[in-house]
Chain A
Amino acid sequence: MPLLEVDGITAGYGDSEILHNVSMRVEPGEIVSIIGPNGAGKSTLMKAVFGLLHPKSGTIRFDGHDISRLEPYQIVERGMCYVPQVANVFTELTVEENLEMGAFLLREGTLDERKGRIYDLFPRLKERRRQRAGKMSGGERQMVAMGAALMLDPKLVLMDEPSAGLSPVMVEMIFERIEEINRNDGPAMLIVEQNARLSLKMSDRGYVLAAGENRFEGTGPGLLNDPEVGRLYLGG
């Protein structure tokens, strides 16, 4: 059974319709990319999955349960975390406090252990754990945002354009980390990316979205090598 199943959703803001009858799925432990031109509705799809907006029709199932009407905090409770593209850290809180907020819903006492794991993954964050997140560079903020999303050991992590605004060195580091997190029984990941090549290279599967509709679907390498996809969306 797929971990995440989006079935024919139509969604938008207010009266507008951005997504038309879009379907996709993520199997447990997979890395799935969503690529496509600007304005294709990739971010909207992510927001609909996470409950930041609700689909007008169609269903979204997570772990077998219908989550189409749930609020984000209820979805987090079920094991899905989200790394937004912008404003993804609490700028007034320290790195450590940001991680603690990631684990806000934690009931048992493993907070320190979890923080330790994030620090192992991102040693730079350990050095700067008492620094205000607002004072950090784009790449460091991205690390904080990812770390916070991982605190609850989610089954699925949504990432909205992780490479946005980062230097090439940082982008490489972030994608290496994504792979590392996913390896060995790590969480499944759904990544919306502008940098289609980089994302597809490490994805198990991918979807191409354009004008709010499904265009192509396939394996990561499959889409990467598809000449039509390449011509239209991978910049040649």
Chain B
Amino acid sequence: MTNENATIAAGPDAGPPAQERVSKEGAVGNNRRPLYLAILAVFVLFWVLGLWAGKSTTTLLNLTVEGIMLGGILALGSMGLTLVYGVLKFANFAHGDLMTIGAFVAFALMQVLPGSEAIASFSFGWGLLVAMVLAAPVVAAVALAVDFLLFRPLRRRGASVVLFTMASLAAMFFLRSVIYLIWGADYHFFYPGRANPAMHLPFGITLQADKIFIFVLALVVVGAVWILLERTRMGKAMRATANNPDLAQVRGINTERVIQWTWIIGGSMAAAGGVMYGLASQLRPEMGFVLLLPLFAGTILGGIGSPLGALVGALIIGIAFQLSSGFIDPTYGPGVAFLLMILVLIIRPQGMFTMGGD
């Protein structure tokens, strides 16, 4: 008598085991639950390890909250990354440096803008917000220029995806060198020497007001992009182009225009993310590069091409990053993010929110 669920005894040519076969149609939905459980298990594990390493629950709670805030910053970068990947079909390694440019342009603008006094309990003044809003179109312009000079000629020649990725690496080095040339290799702060006391919230959470602002801003921007994608003509055209670029052309959609809008939106979000990251830590030319691994980890984990996935993935990576510093040296943070991404890919290779491939 054969056991339908025995996979080992099935032999090499038996095909997929019965369980897999039965749920093939529903496989896309079914596979997500183990994924959610796995991630939850990882967080529980991190808490346990943190407690075992002698940290208090309050500390761990604070780390988790910091992780959520970091996730907000990462989400701004991840969403741009995922939009570019969805529409242009390649991983843009220069995305981190778009964030860096956003931060440094805002920094330069702030030297000449008024409004440096802190607003309420925040450490930043109106000058920073204005500088951020002004930096966005600058970064968008840089992204468009890089596309025009580098990626568009490759598109016309029908180059392979690998070539685009390599080109984006080249753009990354180029952009970073430009930053070094203009601003030097030093660290900078938006508000050097300014105190940034934390607020005392319930459950023993201490959090700087800045971080809450950053998180809320990230949610607002992500929400705005979601509305754009779901409710506007250009947003739907972006989703259509990402889904089937040839059919988009057939339907009369000007795919070059769609690509330009993708760079504008992605670049603007990167600028905001860069400024927020600079506010939360400090400005340095490598800041974007340092963020690349967590950005990619979050994007891929959430399902590359899915904006919701980028948000959720970024949050998960942010939490994992911060929480893991409860029991290991924070320098290993990127390694933790990387391992978590690998774990997700093993359980559900297409990531969390992409469909199971039509």
9 smallest CB-CB distances across A and B, nearest first, come from A76-B252, A92-B243, A105-B252, A91-B358, A73-B252, A72-B249, A90-B240, A90-B243, A134-B358
Task: For chain B, give the interface size range.
Answer: 20 to 34
Residues on B with beta carbons closer than 8 Å to the beta carbon of A91? 243-244, 358
Q: B252 touching A87 by the CB < 8 A rule?
A: no
Alpha-carbon distance between A134 and B249 when the two chains are bound, in angstroms:
19
Contact of B243 among A50, A93, A102, A104 (CB under 8 A): A93
Residues on A with beta carbons closer than 8 Å to the beta carbon of B355? 92, 134
Residues on B with beta carbons closer than 8 Å to the beta carbon of A89? 247
Q: A93 touching B240 by the CB < 8 A rule?
A: yes
Given A87-B244, A90-B244, A91-B244, verify A101-B358 contact (CB < 8 Å). no
Contact of A50 among B237, B242, B247, B250 (CB under 8 A): B250
Task: For chain A, give the interface size range.
Answer: 20 to 34
> Which B residues contact A (CB, under 8 angstroms)?
233, 236-237, 239-240, 242-244, 246-255, 355, 358
A232 CB to closest chain B CB (Å) equals 32
Q: Secondary structure of the B side of the interface?
A: helix
Say yes or no: is A88 at the interface (Cβ < 8 Å to chain B). Answer: yes
Q: A73 touching B247 by the CB < 8 A rule?
A: no
A81 CB to closest chain B CB (Å) equals 8
Could you list 17 further interchain pairs (A-B, Cβ under 8 angstroms) beyond the known A87-B246, A92-B243, A104-B233? A73-B249, A73-B252, A73-B254, A73-B255, A76-B250, A82-B250, A84-B246, A90-B240, A90-B243, A91-B358, A92-B355, A93-B243, A97-B239, A100-B236, A101-B236, A101-B237, A134-B355
Contact of B252 among A52, A77, A84 (CB under 8 A): A77
Given A101-B253, A105-B252, A134-B355, verify A84-B236 contact (CB < 8 Å). no
Say yes or no: is A152 at the interface (Cβ < 8 Å to chain B). Answer: yes
Contact of B253 among A73, A88, A92, A97 (CB under 8 A): A73
Q: B251 touching A148 by the CB < 8 A rule?
A: yes
Q: Mark A46-86, 1 if CB is under 8 A from B, else 0.
A: 00001010000000000000000001110011000010100
